[in-house]
Structure 1
Amino acid sequence: MRSLDIIVVLWVMSVCHITTSICDELDHEDAKFCSGGLKVTYPDRVIDGCAIIPQEFREKISKVWGPPQVQLTGVNEKRKYTLLMVDPDAPSLMNPSLANWRHWVIVGIKGSGLVRGDIRGDELSAYQPPTPPHGTGLHRYQFLVFEQPDGQTLSLTPKEKSSLGNWDPKPFVQRFGLTGPVAALQFLTQNHKD
């Protein structure tokens, strides 16, 4: 990330810390991440564009709600897809030493199910809710959907299974020839006590 980008992100974060009402939708670099029409639905919050989670939902998203429903229309219903969810800001934006903390990996999702929001498949990493540590500011939680080639059995290596932190999804994507991402979405949230 360039110095100017960091300054813009820090400015937006400081403004959003003061008032989240102007930050429900992002207008800077983070907003460019979202593409392809992906929709993530928690019990009381639908996220269909890059956004900051308002204070009133932060504890629910971290401690109360389970995995969201994930929906993507316009995909090939006869193909299979992979869903990745990562936090590139672990443990904090200023010190991402555990970057791309793996929050969720599901492979073999049928396109027909993805269209309906039914993302059953092989869960390689069980869902871990967004739980930014206290005092670390906003974290980006990124959802990426890739199309799988036919006949592939996807798995994590023993090294990848040994830790959720410091996971680089690029080798995983390359190893299995995944196409995309065909859609991406992110939201920003922080510890509910901050």
Structure 2
Amino acid sequence: MKLLKAVILMLGLTGMVAGRLSKNGDRMCVYRVLSRGDALFCKGNLHVIYPEIGDVDCMYIPECNNFRRKISIWDKPSIKYSLASENKKYILVMVDPDAPSRNYPKNRYWRHWLIANISGASLKTGNIRGDELTGSWSISDFIKHFHLGTSVASSQFLTQNYHDF
């Protein structure tokens, strides 16, 4: 079963190429972009970067080098948004829209990471600083409650839960 993770960047009130082969460790990795249906969140040139794998923006996490297991234990990724306005504040939300699995999404939109009050300048560099929040929640209720409007950039990537059979 596959897990889908979405990263959404919102304007608050207050690469890799498909088919590219990359040598990492002992195995060749094939990077594939998400299918049209899975790429619904992808817009606005938002980059989600893990040190060992690179930019996972709108792609499947490759099966090579145990990346699908490692991504569940790695530290937070670097997030870059080159179109950020330096004088504005942003909110970063990383959710799993079909947790714990696509076949049983009882924890839909599980929040992995939420940071508020991020300066546009820090988003441009990928050095995210802000107020980090935790817990499960409803993303649509959060957007409505704080009158956040529409997202300005978003991305998602797909991986497989290595515990699923």
Query: Shorter-normalised TM-score: what interval?
Result: 0.7 to 0.9
Shift of 1:188: 0.5
State the distance in 1 between where 2:86 and 2:56 align: 20
Is 1:184 the counterpart of 2:154? The answer is yes
Report if the CA contact (8 A) 1:39-1:46 is conserved.
Answer: no
Moved more, 103-112 or 42-51: 42-51
* Equivalent in 88, 96, 99 of residue 87 of structure 1: 96
Higher relative contact order (CA 8 A, sep 6+): 2
- Distance change in 2, residues 1:89/1:178 (3 Å): same
Shift of 1:170: 1.1
Is 1:100 the counterpart of 2:142? The answer is no
In the superposition, the TM-score normalised over structure 2's length comes to: 0.74
Is 1:54 the counterpart of 2:54? The answer is no
Report if the CA contact (8 A) 2:34-2:157 is conserved.
Answer: no
Could you report, residue by residue, the CA deviation over 1:64-103 in whole angstroms, capped at 9, with x for unpaired residues? Answer: x200010101121101000001111112111111111110
Could you report, residue by residue, the CA deviation over 1:87-137 in whole angstroms, capped at 9, with x for unpaired residues? Answer: 111121111111111100100000111111111000012xxxxxxxxxxxx
Shift of 1:191: 2.4
- Distance change in 2, residues 1:179/1:97 (3 Å): same
Q: After TM superposition, where is structure 1 displaced by more than 2 Å over at least 4 residues in a row?
A: 46-49, 191-194
State the distance in 2 between where 1:91 and 1:26 align: 19
Shift of 1:192: 3.3
In the superposition, the TM-score normalised over structure 1's length comes to: 0.64
Indicate the residue corresponding to 2:76 in structure 1: 67
Letter of the structure 1 residue corresponding to residue 141 of structure 2: P
Letter of the structure 2 residue corresponding to residue 70 of structure 1: I
Q: Superposed, which structure 2 residues align to 1:22-171 within 5 Å?
A: 24-47=32-55, 49-55=57-63, 56=65, 57-63=67-73, 65-125=74-134, 161=135, 164=136, 167-171=137-141
> How many residue pairs get matched?
134
State the distance in 1 between where 2:40 and 2:114 align: 23
State the distance in 2 between where 1:48 and 1:98 align: 23
Q: Return 5+ residue gaps in structure 1 as ranges.
A: 1-19, 126-160
Q: Return 5+ residue gaps in structure 2 as ranges.
A: 1-28
Q: Sequence identity, in percent?
A: 45
Could you report, residue by residue, the CA deviation over 1:4-56 in whole angstroms, capped at 9, with x for unpaired residues? Answer: xxxxxxxxxxxxxxxx84x7112321123200000011111222531110122
- Distance change in 2, residues 1:98/1:174 (3 Å): same
Letter of the structure 2 residue corresponding to residue 120 of structure 1: R
- Distance change in 2, residues 1:29/1:104 (3 Å): same
